[in-house]
């Protein structure tokens, strides 16, 4: 899934202005080509927790939120889809994307679907969190896909987050609250604008009357875990992607095939893999190839996407927080914005989720990705016969073991680009990493200020936090020495530049500013937005949407003063602003 700036839509067809227009684009490939759970009900009245033993999906009727109200939609994505902006607030569209499919026009369907997947944490298979201790209860507990559509030649799947209970809900209520829905909606908008592959935000609706209780932090609390229950409005955000197939899904079917849990287990694994290829990798894998060749090409292509994705995360300061196999999209894009965060004070072990540990921390994400890739390859192995496909198995092992080298190359290329270098310079980078930790610095602010090619370290000090400078004079001397080394490597002087040198300087600055964003979506920006939204004031949500969809741009002075600054000292270690234990 490659994210690019929103293309201009050629005037080849009329805009999609009504739900009837959208219905004409429907094409339900997953439900029409894969296996339905044989124990499912045709009408989708399937909301109680139960084991799902086979089949690729369960038909489920969403549970609509009561009295839905419009909060926001993605104008950028609507333009890409050739949707009229008015569609987002039309009665039929609001009804459907707040969970009510009862009146949708044909050929739209009155049921959605949920899928199962396995759980692996850092490359280890888990069963005990499943209420049945079998793994057959893991899956989409509150995510329901309601539409596949082919739009402008591309297939998109539209999924409600918070659309009610499914057989995988494990006793939960199937709801998402406004707080987490605002976070996910804005994060998807922001990540796309940053150029990071991601699921896309479509729309966000909140109930004016339906509420649920969730654990959360008291204002100003420094507790690690929430210390009270609060009542919050329920909401539904619709996210969109070419598919929502996760590594965890492949793991589930790979485990079933490996253990021969039912007669169709191997066949269902192959069906799912071929469906993934058709949805996500059709441009690189010839459908005429045999299954062994397809598996190898799939593994290689996913490795390329996953390594590039994680390097992009680190480029912009993003930490997924909970990068399990079930939160890893097999299409190689960012999925499931739960306990995510953007690194502020540079810390290799930055982790926004109190339950995440160092294994899912900021600069350990490449290793976490490698563990997910290993589980991906393990899931594919049953498709290769040890006798007939021995060479393919060896090649698959080589692809898997080569992940670390590809990841390292991606990381070095990314660090070189952030520093404006043609090639990675390990000594320069090692000293920079040490200085950023010892000073400490604000990650995004530092690289943005560096992108202006300062003559001395004074502009860089805008990114310096003042809490633990230690030997200030000694650090400043080391910073000055580092800056001079960097200036020499990038080829910029500090005086008497020729016209060509000035032009080169300006071009280098532009290049670095295209890599190093000025604005990132910090949690202390989000908290006031969802707090005001809970009082039916959506102005700040929409302001953040406008600012964070232009993260590289030089915006107004008022925007810069509000959003291009260090985290205030009083907000450090505050629950919900510096860390969180849940994301419901």
pLDDT of residue 3: 43
**Euclidean distance between CA atoms 216 and 46, whole angstroms:** 30
Residue 355 scores a pLDDT above 50: yes
pLDDT of residue 495: 59
pLDDT of residue 4: 39
SS3 string, 220-287, reads: CCCCCCCCEEEEEEEEEEEEEECCCCEHHHHHHHHHHHHHCCCCCHHHHHHHHHHHHHHHHCCCCCCC
pLDDT of residue 195: 98
166 burial class (0-12, 13-18, 19+ CB within 10 angstroms)? buried
What integer is the mean pLDDT of 237-254?
98
pLDDT by residue (tens digit) across 369-379?
A: 999 999 999 99
pLDDT of residue 122: 95
pLDDT by residue (tens digit) across 99-158?
A: 999 999 999 999 999 999 999 999 999 999 899 999 999 999 999 999 999 999 999 999
326 tagged catalytic: yes
CB 48 within 8 A of CB 41: no
pLDDT by residue (tens digit) across 299-314?
A: 999 999 999 999 999 9
Residue 10 scores a pLDDT above 70: no
Residue 5 scores a pLDDT above 60: no
**Euclidean distance between CA atoms 163 and 146, whole angstroms:** 10
What integer is the mean pLDDT of 556-574?
96
Any idea which of 1-5, 130-134, 208-212, 579-583 has the lowest mean pLDDT?
1-5
Residue 469 scores a pLDDT above 70: no
What integer is the mean pLDDT of 452-470?
86
State the chain's mean pLDDT as an integer: 94
pLDDT of residue 500: 78
What integer is the mean pLDDT of 222-246?
97
pLDDT of residue 470: 55
Question: CA nearest 450: which of 410, 496, 490?
Answer: 490
Residue 34 scores a pLDDT above 70: yes
pLDDT of residue 127: 94
**SS3 call for 438:** helix
Which residue in the list 46, 326, 336, 389 is annotated as catalytic? Answer: 326
Could you give the percent of the chain with pLDDT greater than 90?
Answer: 92
pLDDT of residue 584: 74
pLDDT by residue (tens digit) across 270-290?
A: 999 999 999 999 999 999 999
pLDDT of residue 581: 87
Q: pLDDT-based confidence at 473, cuts 50/70/90?
A: confident
pLDDT by residue (tens digit) across 205-227?
A: 999 999 999 999 999 999 999 99
pLDDT by residue (tens digit) across 398-432?
A: 999 999 999 999 999 999 999 999 999 999 999 99
Residue 483 scores a pLDDT above 50: yes
CB 58 within 8 A of CB 46: yes
What integer is the mean pLDDT of 49-71?
98
What integer is the mean pLDDT of 488-506?
81
pTM of this prediction? 0.95
Residue 341, number of CB atoms within 10 A of its CB: 26
pLDDT of residue 201: 98
What integer is the mean pLDDT of 21-39?
97
92 burial class (0-12, 13-18, 19+ CB within 10 angstroms)? middle
What integer is the mean pLDDT of 521-550?
97
Dihedral (C-alpha) 400, 405, 408, 414: value to the nearest 10 degrees? -90
Residue 583 scores a pLDDT above 90: no
Tell me the two tokens of residue 402.
Answer: 């080569």
């Amino acid at each position: 899934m490659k994210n690019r700036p929103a293309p201009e839509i050629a005037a080849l067809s009329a805009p999609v202005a009504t739900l009837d227009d959208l219905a004409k684009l429907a094409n339900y490939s997953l439900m029409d080509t894969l296996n339905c759970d044989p124990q499912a009900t045709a009408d989708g009245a399937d909301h109680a927790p139960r084991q799902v033993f086979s089949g690729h999906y369960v038909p489920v009727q969403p549970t609509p939120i009561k009295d839905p109200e419009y909060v926001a939609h993605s104008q950028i994505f609507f333009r890409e889809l050739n949707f009229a902006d008015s569609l987002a607030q039309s009665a039929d569209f609001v009804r459907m994307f707040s969970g009510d499919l009862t009146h949708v026009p044909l050929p739209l369907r009155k049921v959605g679907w949920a899928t199962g997947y396995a759980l692996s944490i850092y490359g280890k298979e888990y069963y005990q969190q499943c209420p049945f201790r079998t793994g057959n209860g893991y899956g989409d507990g509150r995510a329901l896909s309601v539409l596949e559509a082919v739009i402008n030649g591309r297939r998109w799947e539209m999924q409600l987050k918070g659309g009610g209970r499914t057989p995988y809900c494990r006793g939960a209520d199937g709801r998402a609250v406004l707080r987490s829905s605002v976070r996910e909606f804005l994060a998807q908008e922001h990540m796309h604008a940053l150029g990071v592959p991601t699921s896309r935000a479509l729309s966000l609706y909140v109930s004016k009357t339906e509420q649920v209780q969730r654990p959360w932090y008291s204002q100003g609390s420094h507790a690690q875990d929430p210390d009270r229950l609060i009542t919050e409005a329920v909401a539904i955000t619709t996210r969109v992607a070419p598919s929502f197939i996760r590594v965890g899904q492949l793991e589930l079917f790979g485990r079933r095939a490996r253990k021969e849990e039912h007669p169709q287990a191997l066949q269902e694994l192959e069906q799912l893999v071929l469906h993934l290829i058709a949805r996500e990798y059709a441009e690189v894998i010839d459908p005429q190839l045999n299954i062994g060749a397809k598996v190898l090409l799939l593994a290689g292509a996913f490795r390329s996407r996953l390594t590039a994705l994680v390097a992009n995360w680190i480029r912009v300061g993003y930490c997924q927080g909970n990068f399990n196999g079930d939160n890893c999209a097999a299409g190689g894009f960012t999925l499931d914005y739960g306990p995510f965060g953007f690194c502020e004070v540079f810390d290799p072990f930055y982790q926004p989720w109190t339950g995440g540990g160092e294994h899912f921390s900021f600069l350990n994400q490449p290793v976490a990705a490698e563990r997910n890739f290993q589980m991906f390859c393990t899931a594919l192995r049953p498709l290769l016969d040890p006798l007939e496909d021995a060479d393919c198995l060896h090649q698959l092992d080589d692809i898997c073991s080569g992940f670390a080298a590809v990841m390292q190359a991606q990381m070095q290329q990314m660090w070189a680009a952030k520093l404006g270098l043609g090639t990675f310079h390990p000594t320069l980078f090692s000293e920079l990493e040490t200085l950023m930790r010892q000073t400490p610095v604000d990650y995004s602010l530092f690289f943005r200020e560096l992108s202006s090619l300062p003559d001395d370290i004074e502009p860089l000090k805008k990114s310096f936090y003042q809490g633990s400078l230690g030997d200030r004079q000694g650090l400043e001397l080391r910073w000055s020495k580092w800056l001079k080394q960097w200036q020499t490597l990038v080829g910029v002087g500090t005086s008497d530049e020729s016209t060509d040198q000035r032009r080169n300087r300006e071009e280098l600055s532009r290049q670095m500013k295209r890599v190093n964003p000025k604005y990132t979506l910090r949690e202390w920006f989000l908290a006031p937005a969802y707090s005001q939204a809970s009082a039916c004031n959506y102005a700040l949500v929409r302001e953040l949407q406008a600012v964070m969809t232009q993260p590289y741009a030089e915006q107004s002075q008022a925007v810069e003063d509000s959003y291009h600054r260090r985290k205030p000292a009083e907000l450090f270690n505050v629950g919900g602003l510096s860390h969180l234990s849940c994301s419901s």
